[in-house]
Chains A and B, each alone.
Chain A
């Protein structure tokens, strides 16, 4: 067997595993929630799980390039797009669950909440950014965009900060966990300090 074949097999099976785990967790979550087996208030659990899940995946996708650089493992970069896309899938579930199960299609309430509540407003902003990143990760569109693609995709850093703020702002007093998430986001930004300094020059 050639090295190249093993290489592509590793990529294939890792991607397969990412699909299985991400989808299994989501399907299982909704299956349990629909059958009222997710604690007293399945809506709260679904919102928390999809929100935290999306944030975990987003941060994981941002950890890949520093890791690949540090360990000289360019192979890792092959999984960045897929993990980023699953982060978007989770965030979409988060938004749709809020609409369908929290405000229960009360559009008036939904729009009011998005406009009047800063933590929901910035959450929506983050979703819009992530939506534009997901759409433009289609290879054809990516090619068309040329250098603009990278510019647009740099906004992922902004999204990670907005998501952290959204989390921090949504809790009543238990700020330690969201603070840690913000800390991780800032650390990941710090790994790219040269790149960021270049933008502002």
Chain B
């Protein structure tokens, strides 16, 4: 692993001993799987046995240090890096939280192409190096609230989506922004197997209203914890919309299209009653199958961490974004 680049240590930085080594996590999970007790998925997984021996032979994905300025701080305690990179919903690499870190290490992100097209004056194609060079990078510490009622606090690195959209010069027809994840079943096992991919129709697509996309909080992230993104977190580039449930923050993006009509979004297609287009964090509107009034904040500490906290409207970013939804019934537009 690459050394963290030197930064001024701030009050929110955790001492190193609080961060569990990644290897310990992986071994632990493999051990449970070996016992064949996690469920039938373990029995079916033909690679379970091979993993045990071959894991160390495969070279893990290499991240690189990034330079950036600090711009958006938070009082919240950060979620340790080892947890941020090992607890991921990225069904392209498997549906268990620890599947992506295990299955995505061979993911190739260079070369990469990100196209900006649709209702724009100037189509853009960003290659791998452009992602880090076209705009100045900044660090933003955001809360991330998953629709499953857990949350993290993550130091992202990236640039505002607004800068990218402005560069493409959207025309007057552009009302919405449609995003698409890479479709590459060879690299993403979840896309070639329904069992691994959880029955989601791929490629994963997401969307925002143009004014949501232009809000200064909306970030295109290329890194976290001072380094470029690991594949399980959406390398090389992903969206971060901190006032919406995590599934809106689409990963490994290859296409951004400015469009006139509200674009389809993956979870809404899958279960329209449970996941809306807006998906703003809202403690007043429950998911049909569980409460959204509170959440468990994942930081350090084990089973006895008293980590249940109240969920805030717009995930605590009410001041910055509530004006976008004036005169809208947020119960209907969930």
In angstroms, Cα B32 to Cα A177, docked, is 17
Docked complex: A61-118 residues within 8 A CB-CB of B: 101-104, 106, 109, 112-113, 116-118
Digitize B25-45: 1 where CB-to-A-CB distance is under 8 Å, 0 elsewhere: 100110010010111110000
Choose from A36, A113, A170, A172 the contact partner of B301 (Cβ within 8 Å): A36
A61 smallest CB distance to B (angstroms): 16
Kindly specify which of A4-12, A38-46, A152-160 makes contact with the partner chain: A38-46
Beta-carbon contact of B289 and A176 below 8 Å: no
B328 interface residue per 8 A CB criterion: no
B86 interface residue per 8 A CB criterion: yes
Beta-carbon contact of A106 and B296 below 8 Å: no
Beta-carbon contact of B24 and A174 below 8 Å: no
Choose from B29, B38, B294 the contact partner of A106 (Cβ within 8 Å): B294
Chain A residues touching B, range: 35 or more
Digitize B203-235: 1 where CB-to-A-CB distance is under 8 Å, 0 elsewhere: 000000000000000000000000000000000
Beta-carbon contact of B194 and A176 below 8 Å: yes
Beta-carbon contact of A102 and B39 below 8 Å: no
Beta-carbon contact of B28 and A36 below 8 Å: no
Query: Given A34-B302, A40-B87: A109 and B291 within 8 A (CB)?
Result: yes
B197 smallest CB distance to A (angstroms): 9
B252 smallest CB distance to A (angstroms): 19
Chain B residues touching A, range: 35 or more
Q: How many A-B residue pairs have CB under 8 A?
A: 110
Beta-carbon contact of B25 and A48 below 8 Å: no
Beta-carbon contact of B38 and A48 below 8 Å: yes
A102: which B residues are within 8 A, CB to CB? Answer: 296
A149 interface residue per 8 A CB criterion: no
A175 interface residue per 8 A CB criterion: yes
A38: which B residues are within 8 A, CB to CB? Answer: 28, 302
Beta-carbon contact of A39 and B304 below 8 Å: no
A131 interface residue per 8 A CB criterion: no
B308 interface residue per 8 A CB criterion: yes
B271: which A residues are within 8 A, CB to CB? Answer: 172-173
In angstroms, Cα B39 to Cα A177, docked, is 8
Docked complex: A19-52 residues within 8 A CB-CB of B: 25, 30, 32-44, 46, 48-49, 52
A180: which B residues are within 8 A, CB to CB? Answer: 40
A39: which B residues are within 8 A, CB to CB? Answer: 25, 28-29, 83, 86-87, 97-98
B1 interface residue per 8 A CB criterion: no
Beta-carbon contact of A44 and B97 below 8 Å: yes
A14 interface residue per 8 A CB criterion: no
B77 smallest CB distance to A (angstroms): 14
A175: which B residues are within 8 A, CB to CB? Answer: 199
In angstroms, Cα B195 to Cα A53, docked, is 21
Beta-carbon contact of B303 and A43 below 8 Å: yes
In angstroms, Cα B29 to Cα A113, docked, is 30
Determine the residue in chain B with the shortest Cβ distance to A32. Answer: B28
A52: which B residues are within 8 A, CB to CB? Answer: 37-39
Most B CB contacts (10 A, CB to CB) among A38, A40, A42 go to A40
Query: Given A33-B302, A49-B37, A176-B195: A113 and B290 within 8 A (CB)?
Result: yes
B20: which A residues are within 8 A, CB to CB? Answer: 36-37
Query: Given A173-B199, A173-B200: A109 and B150 within 8 A (CB)?
Result: no
5 pairs, A vs B, C-beta closer than 8 Å: A34-B302, A41-B83, A41-B87, A109-B294, A177-B39
- List 7 extra interface pairs beyond A34-B302, A41-B97, A181-B40, CB under 8 A: A39-B86, A40-B86, A41-B150, A41-B298, A48-B38, A176-B194, A176-B199
Please provide the 9 A-B residue pairs with the shortest distance between their CB atoms, ordered closest to farther: A40-B87, A36-B302, A40-B83, A174-B198, A33-B303, A174-B95, A104-B308, A52-B39, A173-B198
